[in-house]
């Protein structure tokens, strides 16, 4: 989910929505960081979470570092014992921020969706070989 | 307006929203293309419109070409007589698409805005020297 992509109906155009929350001109939260948080919660490890996104440990750690600096407290609590230690978790604040961001993205998708049928009459026929071409 | 940026109140975090309408895996409409359309409508020229966005004539023309291919007809009617001919206009379809995209972006901004007060309690204090720091 690099961005939220809406495609409810094959006859409707596809829409990509990206929501980025800024803090001090850094991206405090966005689609990639939200996906990383969810993966950390699932895997218990920053390295393993990064791997599910084809991201180096260094890159994943840098994203976590930006998040931990942007909010009023850390979103991720890194377990001691090295990268194989496991047990890395989201803090209660991390869970709240991820939940709130996800809710906002869902609400925004719903709003945008209402506009897609009107667009569909404006589009050229698809030529990308999709079996769902009109 | 590379993206729609919401910042109604200095105490709220800033949010950037990007809406991209896809067609055949190309971006048929997005913040940059919408801004270009509006500038063409205003200046009557692809070259002049591109210049207001610090964009080369070639780049502006390529964006117009993608739009003209993505929709059921051209969005821009280029005037004959070369780049200084003037009189380049949006077609009725171009006006409709721009209007529809703008309405969708506005509606999405309103939806997202409702979530920002909840985020503001989660953020670290700003250190970017903004005079509106809390």
Closest CB to B122 among A13, A71, A111: A71
Helix (H) or strand (E) holding B86: none
Q: Please name the residue of chain A whose CA is at the shortest distance from the CA of residue B103.
A: A115
Check: CB of residue B19 under 8 Å from CB of residue B6: no
Q: B127 CB near a chain A CB, below 8 Å? A: yes
The pLDDT, as a whole number, for residue B133 is 39
A111·B114 Cβ contact <8 A: no
pLDDT at B134: 36
Chain B residue with the nearest C-alpha to that of A11 = B23
The CATH fold of domain A23-102 = Arc Repressor Mutant, subunit A (1.10.10)
Residues 23-82 of A with CB under 8 A from B: 23-25, 28, 69-72
The answer to whether the pTM exceeds 0.90 is no
Query: Is there a contact between A22 and B16 if contact means CB atoms under 8 Å apart?
Result: yes
Which pLDDT tens digit goes with each residue over A77-126?
A: 987 655 555 689 999 999 999 999 999 999 999 999 999 998 888 998 87
ipTM above 0.85, yes or no: no
Q: Do B24 and A93 touch (CB under 8 A)?
A: no
pLDDT in tens, A26-39: 999 999 999 999 99
Interchain contact B84–A (C-beta under 8 A): no
pLDDT computed for residue B87 by the predictor: 87
- Contact check, Cβ <8 Å, B126/A15: no
Parts of chain B with a pLDDT under 70? 1-3, 5-11, 80-86, 128-134
Q: Which fold has domain B21-101?
A: Arc Repressor Mutant, subunit A (1.10.10)
């Amino acid at each position: 989910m690099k961005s939220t992509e809406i495609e409810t109906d094959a006859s409707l155009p596809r829409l990509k929505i990206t929501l980025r929350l800024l803090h001090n001109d850094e991206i405090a939260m966005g689609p990639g960081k939200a996906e990383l948080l969810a993966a950390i919660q699932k895997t218990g490890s920053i390295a393993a979470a990064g791997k599910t996104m084809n991201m180096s440990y260094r890159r994943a750690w840098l994203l976590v570092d930006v998040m931990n600096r942007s909010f009023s407290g850390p979103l991720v609590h890194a377990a001691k014992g090295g990268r194989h230690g496991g047990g890395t978790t989201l803090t209660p604040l991390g869970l709240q921020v991820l939940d709130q961001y996800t809710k906002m993205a869902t609400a925004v998708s719903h709003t945008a969706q209402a506009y897609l049928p009107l667009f569909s009459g404006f589009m050229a026929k698809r030529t990308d070989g999709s079996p769902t071409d009109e």
